[in-house]
Amino acid sequence: MDELISLGKITVPLVISGLIFYSKSLISMFFLGHLGKIELAGGSLAIGFANITGYSIMKGLATGMEPICCQAFGAKKWTVLSETFKQTLCLLFLGAIPIIVLWLNMEPILLLIGQDKTITSVAKVFLTYSIPELLAQALLSPLRIFLRAQSLNLPFTISATWAMILHLPINYFLAIYLDLGVKGVALASACNTLNINLALLVYLFFTETAIKPWDGQMLTNSYRDWHSLVSLMIPSVASVCLEWWWYEIMVVLCGLINNPETNMAAIGILIQTTGLLYVFPHSLSASLSMRIGQELGAEAPARARQTTITGLIIAMVCGILAFTFAIAVKDVWGKLYTCEPEVLALTSVVLPILGFCELGNCPQTAACGILIGSARPNLGACINFCSFYLVGLPVSIFAAFGLKMGFLGLWFGLAAAQATCMCMMICTLVFTDWKHQAKRAKELTQATRDHNNDLEANLLS
């Protein structure tokens, strides 16, 4: 029960933050839709392209620092925490450079794969003005993990709430009042992230509770320190991107099935729904990653095991609730987005399958967080690849085109992928040697060099 309460205290602020972020995308889509059909299509294309080539990579790179920071906090190695943040920040800004170059030259790429010229032109404008958002995310992603590793989730929730209150008027001012159109929507999104960053930095400057990211030396020159971080970043990027990209592949396959207009409209609604439901297991996953990392860092393998069991039980309950929700709203949910009869009928048929997918998605998302907390993102990447691309994708293609099931077949492929992923993740955790993981955590956080111990002593006093 104590572990359940502990996870609840961590997860609830993260759920609130996730819902706020979800509303941010809804507001952006609302203003794009208000500007016109072409602007909505171009903005949607740009956001999809940005997710695939930019934000997923930023998130994956930042995730690499999570096990080090959580385990370092549990082991009371404060300098590992602050130095890992600075290393990650440096690598994310370096990683943003090729992404920016790609975004500035994305028009010929999209035209090459058959996208409409007018829509692509709008998408290019949106992406160009989204560059400040990319750079802001390069700071926010590691900053959020840095605070979460210290069990400080409330500052981010408050900062995100404050930024969201400003998001609607900023969108209106830039996109409508100044008549900047899609440029204004993109810049408003960047302003939202910048406002969160500003609020968090002000909090860190004045608080006496948190470790400061600027404490310690600027950057370590130790090869071992950088190697430990990069070796976790690479599989973390792979794991995040493999799952994010799957949904974009589904969108592409939708265009190859009969009646693509209806399919595209339906999948837009269903992916938005998946995004909403994902907030809950993703928040639990982040909580588990933090708790597992801290317990292993504190050399408490028994507590890490107990946290794992409790987390997976909660995840299974979340999956059942998501499935029940999808069944309950299948005939009315689509009406929130459209009144087209064909789209509503297709959405109603697929929603129960989407709910069934959540029965596997919730536990596997939670398990992925546990693997991250125990510094095993390589296993997560391998499992995601096998599940989504060696099982899910062939099943989707065969069901949609071989069995002539069309749009419905794509979702059966996702269900197969989620079920496979859940089974592989849980099997991995069942056979985990937690004492060995605690030993690995000790070795990982040993990256701190001896001459930094004086700072740790001061922080502890």
Q: Do the domain assignments include residue 290?
A: yes
If you average pLDDT over each of 40-54, 210-224, 322-336, 337-351, which comes out highest? Answer: 322-336
Helix (H) or strand (E) holding 230: helix 223-254
Question: Nearest CA to 259 among 359, 342, 162, 142?
Answer: 342
Tell whether the model's pLDDT for residue 449 goes beyond 50.
no
Same domain, 287 and 416: yes
**Tens digit of pLDDT for each residue in 258-305?**
877 778 778 878 888 898 999 999 999 999 999 999 999 999 999 999
Based on the domain organization, do 165 and 259 belong to the same domain?
Answer: no
Q: Does 389 lie in the same domain as 359?
A: yes
Q: What is the pLDDT of residue 112?
A: 84
Do residues 326 and 355 lie in contact, with contact meaning Cβ atoms separated by under 8 Å? yes
248 with 205, same domain: the answer is: no
Comparing 211-215, 258-262, 347-351, 429-433, the range with the smallest average pLDDT is 258-262
- Cβ contact 267:251 at 8 Å: yes
Which of 435, 307, 434, 422 lies closest to 359 in space, CA to CA?
A: 422
Average pLDDT, the chain: 88
Do 246 and 354 share a domain, yes or no? yes
Q: Give the rounded distance of the alpha carbon of 37 from its chain centre.
A: 28
Q: Is the per-residue pLDDT at 182 higher than 90?
A: yes
Give the model confidence (pLDDT) of 109-139 as tens digits.
888 877 778 888 988 999 999 999 999 999 9
Rounded Cα–Cα distance for residues 378 and 372 (Å):
9
185 within domain boundaries: yes
DSSP letter at 210 equals S
Q: Are residues 232 and 119 in the same domain?
A: no
- Among residues 389, 445, 457, 376, which one has the least CA distance to residue 421? 389
Instruction: For residue 5, tell me if it sits in a domain.
Output: no
204, 263: one domain: no
Does 85 share its domain with 125?
yes
CB 282, CB 243: distance < 8 Å: no
* 187-196 pLDDT per residue, tens: 999 999 999 9
Same domain for 54 and 130, yes or no, is: yes
Residue at 460 is within a domain:
no
Q: Which of 107-121, 381-395, 439-453 has the lowest mean pLDDT?
A: 439-453
Of 188, 219, 250, the position where a domain reaches its end is 219
Three-state secondary structure call for residue 324: helix
Long-range CB contacts for residues 44-47, cutoff 8 Å, separation at least 24: 44/268, 45/110, 45/115, 45/119, 45/120, 45/122, 45/123, 46/122, 46/123, 46/124, 46/126, 46/127, 46/130, 46/186, 47/126
pLDDT in tens, 312-325: 999 999 999 999 99
Overall domain count for the chain: 2
Question: Is the separation of the CB atoms in 66 and 145 below 8 Å?
Answer: yes
Domain that holds residue 91: 14-219
Mean pLDDT of 151-173: 93
Q: Which domain-ending residue is among 202, 219, 236?
A: 219
8 Å CB contact between 403 and 259: no
CA count, 13 A, side-chain hemisphere, 175: 29
Rounded distance, CA 271 to CA 246, Å? 11
Q: Burial code of 449-461, b = ≥16 C-beta within 10 A, e = fewer? A: beebeebbeebee
Question: Assign residue 181 a region: left if phi > 0, alpha if psi is -120 to 50, beta otherwise?
Answer: left
Residue 124 in any domain: the answer is yes
- Give the global pTM: 0.85
